[in-house]
Chain A
């Protein structure tokens, strides 16, 4: 589980964000260095292959640079904002393919092609869970990933989704019920 940030890093980050809003490319480069691993990891989890994850990660940072003037620190942490941009790009990525079968093929292929080390690390149950998470609706996926994988609070997720905190909890509940059903169905088939 990732921490959302330590005190010192947060204040450094705030300075870099202000400079980046003022169109300082070097400051934005430092923000890239701080967050690229986490953005890539989040995208890789959802697309299941390195080539697409790399391409989308680059797009996230370019898009962030273009939109950074609209970032409001008061509503959510910068990394949470980055995750929302990542989420939207991944959604667009699959929409352009117009075919959920592509997603399933990619996920299964990445599972099959995983190195022995990665396979051992991830484990069968984790791969099964990942496939199930990727079958959730977009808002459910976003809440599950932001809450459980990225460790954001409901209060931080809510403004990004333009929903109330209580509604985020409802989405999370719905997502877990659906995950349970997907996993049970899969167990019944195997």
Chain B
């Protein structure tokens, strides 16, 4: 594997799957270590994005509205 983007992708996959840690990956590719390590650390941070959840009331309201819109459209399509 020689292209930097392939090495980066492989390391991200290995770390994500628990097969490796950042230190192991950069040790495996010493010729690109300097560029690889900071990018891996950023990539790993992005995984820890907080979970934004919609409210139950929004979900219920939006579902009703969606079904109304679908039925309105189906009625128009069937007419006359």
> A residues within 8 Å of B by Cβ?
1, 23, 25, 28-29, 32-33, 36-37, 40-41, 44-45, 50, 53-54, 57-58, 61-62, 65-66, 118, 121-122, 125-126, 129-130, 133, 144, 147-149, 154, 166, 169-170, 172-173, 176-177, 179-180, 183
Q: By the criterion CB–CB under 8 Å, are A172 and B46 in contact?
A: no
- A36-B54 contact given A54-B62, A176-B42, CB 8 Å threshold: yes
CB atoms of B66 and A172 under 8 A apart: no
Query: Which interface class (under 10, 10 to 19, 20 to 34, 35 or more) fits B?
Result: 20 to 34
Contact status of A53 and B54, CB under 8 A, knowing A130-B49, A148-B46:
yes
C-alpha spacing A126/B70, complex, angstroms: 38
A interface, by DSSP: helix, strand, loop or mixed?
Answer: helix
| Chain B interface (Cβ < 8 Å from any Cβ of A) | 4-6, 8-9, 12, 16, 38-39, 42-43, 45-54, 58-59, 62-63, 65-67, 69-71, 73-74
